Each structure stands twice: as C-alpha cells, then as structure tokens.
Amino acid sequence: MKIVFATNNAHKLAEVQAVLGDAYELVTPRMCGVEEEIPENQPTLEGNASEKSHYLRARTGLDCFADDTGLEVEALDGAPGVHSALCLRRSRLRGQQPPAAAQLEGEANRRARFRTVISLLVGDEEHLFEGVVEGRIVERESGAEGFGYDPLFVPDGCDRTFAEMSPDEKNAVSHRGRAVRKLAAFLRARGEK
C-alpha cells in the first residue's frame, strides 16, 4: 500500500519505514510534486500534525499522514514543546548549544519527555495516534546516530542517548516508534476488514 508521509527528512523517513515494514511504501511530498514547505502554524502538536496532513491531502488527493514531535522539559514548564524543531534550528544556525541543554545548566531536575502525534487521513476520516517516552536530558551531547535532540535525550530504563543507539534500538523505545506502531496496527486492522 502506498501512503504519503509528510516529510522530506531522510532520517525520519527511514525510522518510520523500518517500523511500518514492507507492507507499506512511503511516498514523500517531493515525489508527489509538493516542493514547498508544509505549514506548521498551530499551537499544539496535534494541531500541527493535522494541519500538515490536510495540506498534503489538498495538494495530492492521496491518503497521507503527518507527524509533529516535541521535547517537553519538566523544569522548563514543557518547553520547547511544539517549538522544539524551530528552537533547535535557530541554535544550530548560531553555533550554540541546543536550548533544552543550555537552559538546564545548573538545574537538578532534568526530566523530560518526547511526544509524537500522528494525523492520518484515510478516506474521509482523520485518526490521531500518540507516542510518548519519558527520560532525561544529559549535560553534554553524545552519539552520532539519529537527529534533532537525540544526542541529549536518555529514555528511562536506558543508559545511552537516542543518538548512541542503533536505529532498531531507538525504534523499539522511541516516541515516534510507539506512535507509528499504533498507526501500523490501525492500518493492518483496516486492511483486514
């Protein structure tokens, strides 16, 4: 089954394809002729995921899904949250340490969670799936795998950052992996009807 996934990020595409398996062929927006940046103007992860999937559906007419992910840091009252990617991009452009790490300097409470929300548009219906992983922010980036905040986040029950894990290890415990497994289970059940 072909389905459009609202990303052109090769790392994210590979992560999701690994979880979905061979039963699904992921198609990117570029493959469908959508070259422009897909808008993310909503104040919540759910809102952004929904906005992106509806945008893609309007331009392609195809079944599609989109996700939005946020790092929610306890000591920062849930920030950067929905603004995680933007904050990280800005800090990288300035050659600065990621904000979640810089703002926690000297802070004892380093608890955080990653949360992913997926909006699936299939037929005329929208379905939302959420994946959450609890953990903590480390003081220094570690590891070369993954992307985004992966070098800073250690999930509960682990002693390595996401960036120190193989893609399979990360997918087994990650927020995105959990949300995608829910999506895959829904698609399989729908296909069996």
Q: Please tell me the distance from the alpha carbon of residue 27 to that of residue 17, in angstroms, as a whole number.
A: 10
Among residues 63, 68, 150, 168, which one is catalytic? Answer: 68
Tokens encoding 95: 């050659």
CB 63 within 8 A of CB 3: yes
Respond yes or no: is residue 68 known to be catalytic.
Answer: yes
Q: How many angstroms separate the Cα of 100 from the Cα of each of 13, 44, 95, 148?
A: 25, 18, 14, 11
Strand partners, 33: none
Prior bond to 99 cis, omega within 30?
no
CB 131 within 8 A of CB 170: no
* DSSP-assigned letter for residue 36: S
Residue 147, phi then psi, degrees to nearest 5 = -160, 175
Q: How many angstroms separate the Cα of 15 from the Cα of each of 103, 109, 171?
A: 29, 30, 7
Catalytic residue annotation: 68
